[in-house]
Amino acid sequence: MNIRLGLARRGDAHAIADMSRTLVEHGLPWTWNERRILRCISNPDCVVLMARDGRRLAGFAIAEFFDDRTHLNLLAVRPAYQRMGVGRTLMAWLESSARTAGTFLMHLEVRASNQPARDFYRRLGFSEGGTRRGYYAGREDAVRLVRDLKVTSASPAA
């Protein structure tokens, strides 16, 4: 495995949207479709970051940078690449960019039922900060996670 990070190009939007549908939005209406990914790719405040193993898409992250915070919209790693540090590497890139931009608050929402992802974010130093009822199409609650990049540090890799 030789994972390299790089910004997504327009031709990557289809594969990213497909991964979002199967790995993140399964059982919910598909909102992160190709059109929405393309909008992010062309939005200067948004980063669509890919982790590639050769030509293969192993994972991706989408984040939006605001003046006072960074919001993580999506993160997914293909099952064949999970538990190999790909998610942690994508997050480290985003966190470093946020710090460089002088923005130290990072937050996101995750499906309440997604315990593996909640464990992942906690391991990276995020704290759970409340529930948003029916956030996902009225069908599922979201848990909000927050990390202050100034005061918290992620646990080192095992």
Residues that bind ligand COA (CB under 6 A): 23-24, 74-77, 82-88, 110, 114, 116-117, 119-120, 123, 157-158
Of the pair 7, 80, the CB lying nearest ligand COA is at 80
**In which residue are the tokens 């594969």 written?**
15
Closest approach, Cβ 135 to ligand COA, in A, equals: 12
**In which residue are the tokens 């050769």 written?**
54
Residue of this chain nearest to ligand COA (CB atom): 87
Sign of the torsion formed by the C-alpha atoms of 110, 67, 101 and 104: negative
150, burial (CB in 10 Å: exposed 0-12, middle 13-18, buried 19+):
exposed
Return the DSSP state at 119: H
Closest approach, Cβ 72 to ligand COA, in A, equals: 7
Of the pair 84, 149, the CB lying nearest ligand COA is at 84
Closest approach, Cβ 104 to ligand COA, in A, equals: 21
Neighbouring C-beta atoms of residue 121, cutoff 10 Å: 25
Of the pair 52, 67, the CB lying nearest ligand COA is at 52
Return the DSSP state at 147: E
Helix/strand/coil for 121? helix
Closest approach, Cβ 118 to ligand COA, in A, equals: 9
